[in-house]
Amino acid sequence: MNWRSIFAHAVGRMAALTIALLCFMAPGVATSAKSQEPGHRATVDSAPSQPFLRYPRLIVAQIRPRGAFLGDRENNSQLHPLWFIAGVYVLAGLVFGALCAQLALHRGLNSTGWFAAGFLFNLFGYVAMLLLPGAKIRSPDRIPRGLGKFHATASPVTCTKCGAEHHPTAKKCAGCGLELRPAVESEVTRIGLGEPYVKHK
């Protein structure tokens, strides 16, 4: 095939496409060929239908209306079931992980580890958390490990005899030896280490 035949073939193709486009702009009896593009329907005359059947999208693109931003093509893509299942799994993991971590804090257990267990095993991890006995909390204020508290100290106690100020847990005045009534319970007494030491002047 020499250059003359190639040129003649190209000219023939261009002429056929031109005729097909003119058929869209000129009125005629439509029946032979149809284009079922998404949201559009176009027809051509029976004479130039062969080029149209070969290149339907190229021809219809000339008359297809376009949107302002992304065109008028509809997005027919659907969510894959695996992505939906993965999303539900992650969401359930976050919920049960938070429940396990909160329950572990109240029972004196490792909240980080139980959050991971609840996230990975979901409902099964939470059921295991419910069935597991809690650890013994040795804190005098019954505060689980890993948590703290705000330091709150009661106001000092004033001796009615000598006017000296003492700690609110003091039971005896350090100045005159008068018996005092403690305002709060001493933490030393609470954990069973004996009575607080009071130095007399």
**pLDDT, tens digit (0-9, with 9 covering 90-100), for 14-33:** 766 665 555 554 444 444 44
Flag whether pLDDT at 86 surpasses 80.
yes
The pLDDT value recorded for residue 11 is: 65
DSSP annotation of 141: T
pLDDT greater at residue 27 or residue 169: 169
Reading the block at residue 21, the tokens are 């486009």
With cut-offs at 50, 70 and 90, classify the pLDDT of residue 42: low
Q: How far apart are CA 21 and CA 60, in angstroms?
A: 9
Query: Roughly how many angstroms between the first and final C-alpha of the chain, as a whole number?
Result: 123
Do strands 157-158 and 33-35 pair parallel, antiparallel, or not at all (unpaired)?
unpaired
Flag whether pLDDT at 137 surpasses 60.
no
Taking each helix axis from N to C terminus, what angle separates 123-131 and 111-121, rounded to the nearest 10 degrees? 140
pLDDT greater at residue 77 or residue 83: 83
The pLDDT value recorded for residue 92 is: 94
With cut-offs at 50, 70 and 90, classify the pLDDT of residue 58: low
Q: How far apart are CA 141 and CA 134, in angstroms?
A: 17
Q: DSSP E strands: which ranges in the chain?
A: 33-35, 42-44, 157-158, 165-166
